[in-house]
Amino acid sequence: MLLSLAIIFLVGLSAAAIFEKIGLPRIIGMLGVGIAVSPYVLDLLDESVLGISTELRQMALIIILIKAGLSLNLSDLKKVGRPAVMMSFVPACFEIAGYVIFAPLLLGVSYIEAAVMGAVLSAVSPAVVVPRMVRLIEEKYGTEKSIPQMILAGASCDDVFVIVLFSTFVTMAQGGSVKAVDFLNIPVSIVLGVLLGAVTGLCICFLFEISYKHNNKIRNSIKVIVMLGTAFLLMSAETLAKPYAAVSGLLAVVAMACIVKLRADKSVSLRLSEKFGKLWIAAEVILFVLVGAAVDVRYTLEAGAFALLMIFIALAFRAVGVVVCMAGTKLTAKERLFCIIAYLPKATVQAAIGSVPLSLGLPCGKTVLSVAVLAILITAPLGAVGIDKTSHRILQKCNS
């Protein structure tokens, strides 16, 4: 395991530095290393690391979501309003519609199998999008119109919506019955996640305040550990509550961090944000190298030209969905284009659930996995490059 971790950190960081030096996003180097050392290419990673790959990726994602919550200003998010809510489900719906219409024609799958494929492929990657939006918020690019805040919030909710749809469509593909209550899990999961996170955030603030009043000041490093441990509990609560109620652990983590930022002293929240930023340096490498390692590149060769065409058709549908969300806003044409680019990347969710239809024995399983792998390899670098290259040119810097 130690050798595998050494490879992940040292080779991953080296590749990231090389790509950054030549003007490309670090993520491309890390994904490339992950693909190269994966069991499907050089097979350099120990089974013990691959066995906990999902948990390690989840931990890394939690770190950046806490950082996002500590950077997110709730008043800015409230100012965005309707578009932020629409961004959490409208673009995904449009993309799924694209798959349902064209996948049966291009890939020879049934309509319900096309819906399963669309649910796998329609989730935006928070791992790619969130850290970039956090950076833009800190640099104050686009914050006057709350553009990065809107994208960050939408990307965080988007996954909840898509995963619930995925579970529903898979049940239908297996011949099971679907009830209307299944779709109620989407708003329930979001609302309960936010409420759980808000209450937890208030409890953490109370703990910090009590310790300060009793002259037992908690060091910021300890506060980081407390927040990180609590975030792990919130993610576990999602699993524990699953038989009884749908709860979004990821949204709970963001909400907890938002409340800490809101209630804690400004200097404390700034220091916590800095410390989680430092943790992200290591977590980022783990996340993207292991996402790359989960990609079975053998399926890209089987995907074919029609799969490639299908991906770009679906992205065009997604772009229309983003434009619909932006209707009635004061955003310029270029700013709307940036929102479309920011909603392109796919990686985390596709790596996590892309192989599920195949493991369940669905006839479309191999096709879904092939398209998912191809989508990761195309859209993750495309979205990352697009965001990095256009953000400072398109978005205005807020001087206040």
d(CA 172, CA 176): 5
Instruction: List pLDDT tens digits, range 134-156.
Output: 899 989 999 888 899 889 888 87
Instruction: List pLDDT tens digits, range 95-143.
Output: 999 999 999 999 988 999 999 999 989 988 888 898 899 899 989 999 8
d(CA 13, CA 19): 10
**pLDDT for 203:** 92
Contact (Cβ atoms closer than 8 angstroms) between residue 54 and residue 284: no
- Number of helices (H), then strands (E), belonging to the chain: the values are 20, 0
Residue 261's Cα: distance from chain center in Å? 21
**Residues of the chain where predicted confidence (pLDDT) is lower than 70:** 74-77, 176-183, 214-216, 400
Instruction: Report helix angle 53-71 to 147-173, nearest 10.
Output: 150
Q: In the chain, what are the helix, strand and coil shares in percent, each to the nearest 5?
A: 80, 0, 20
| Torsional sign, CA 331, 332, 336, 339 | negative
Q: Which two tokens stand for residue 361?
A: 């024995």
Residue 393's Cα: distance from chain center in Å? 24
User: Which of 348, 332, 328 shows the shortest CA–CA distance to 340?
Assistant: 332
pTM value? 0.80
What one-character DSSP code corresponds to residue 10?
I
Bridge partners (DSSP) of residue 397 are 141
Identity of the amino acid at 276:
F
What one-character DSSP code corresponds to residue 111?
H
d(CA 379, CA 313): 13
- Determine if residue 79 is left, alpha or beta; phi over 0 gives left, psi from -120 to 50 gives alpha, anything else beta: alpha
**b/e 138-154 (16+ beta carbons within 10 angstroms → b):** eeebbbebbbbbbbbbb
3-state secondary structure (DSSP) of residue 153: helix
d(CA 156, CA 67): 13
**pLDDT for 295:** 77
Output phi, psi for 397, to 5 deg. -85, 130
Beta strands, E only, the chain: none
Which residues lie below 8 Å from residue 186, measured CB to CB, with a gap of 6+? 89, 160, 161, 164, 165, 246
Please work out, in degrees rounded to the nearest 5, the angle formed at the alpha carbon of residue 280 by the alpha carbons of 15 and 21: 30
Identity of the amino acid at 239:
T
d(CA 279, CA 256): 18
User: Which of 163, 91, 155, 93 shows the shortest CA–CA distance to 128?
Assistant: 155
Q: Which two tokens stand for residue 88?
A: 């959490």
d(CA 49, CA 51): 5
Instruction: Report helix angle 12-21 to 266-293, nearest 10.
Output: 100
What one-character DSSP code corresponds to residue 122?
S
Length of the chain equals 400
